[in-house]
């Protein structure tokens, strides 16, 4: 019984480690292919540079279907609404596309400030990109949560069996 519990604990630990690696990979991929382009669009000093970066981010968002839904697991909070976030980004893209070469510099500057306010948040930790929590894992948020719960229970049972069993 003790050996079986030890085996369960090891398998559970390996599964949790695998899930953590998967979460890191998903987060890293989203950051490089979308989040950093949105940050660059918010930091851009020209309309053209902002438009180029927001276009790149929107291609990723549309390719991976991050255009509607909610990233919440139990509660579908407004802050996790992908539809609102996507429509907001599309509106930014549309506003940038309306700018012509003869557009006055003041209007260009105002649009860049509005874009920065839309794309970036200022908090205690500094500047961050505005996006729903858990977006890097979407649409797998709920299955990954339940897999993590099941594997954690498996790990805990295995540890208990290994520690509290008298036989080996």
**For 102-154, how does the pLDDT look when each residue is reduced to its tens digit (9 = 90+)?**
889 999 999 999 999 999 998 888 889 999 999 999 999 999 999 999 999 98
Quickly state the pLDDT bin for 36 (edges 50, 70, 90). Answer: very high
Contact 141, 134 (CB under 8 A): yes
The pLDDT value recorded for residue 3 is: 84
**What are the angstrom distances between the C-alpha of 64 and each of 3, 60, 70, 144?**
44, 6, 14, 18
Task: Report d(CA 106, CA 50) in Å as an integer.
Answer: 16
| Token pair in block for residue 94 | 């549309």
pLDDT higher than threshold 80 for residue 50? yes
In eight-state DSSP terms, residue 137 is: G
């Amino acid at each position: 019984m003790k050996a079986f519990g030890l085996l369960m604990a090891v398998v559970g630990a390996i599964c949790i480690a695998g899930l953590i690696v998967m979460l890191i990979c998903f987060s890293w991929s989203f950051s490089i292919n979308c989040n950093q382009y949105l940050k660059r669009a918010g930091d851009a000093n020209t309309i053209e540079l902002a438009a180029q970066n927001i276009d790149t981010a929107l291609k990723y968002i549309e390719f991976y279907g991050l255009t509607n839904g909610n990233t919440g697991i139990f509660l579908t909070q407004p802050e996790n609404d992908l539809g609102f976030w996507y429509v907001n980004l599309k509106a930014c893209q549309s506003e940038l596309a309306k700018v012509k070469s003869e557009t006055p510099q003041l209007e260009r500057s105002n649009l860049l400030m509005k874009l920065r306010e839309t794309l970036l948040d200022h908090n205690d930790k500094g500047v961050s990109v505005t996006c729903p929590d858990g977006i890097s894992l979407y649409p797998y948020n709920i299955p990954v949560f339940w897999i993590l719960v099941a594997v954690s229970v498996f790990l805990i049972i295995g540890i208990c069996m290994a520690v509290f069993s008298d036989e080996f």
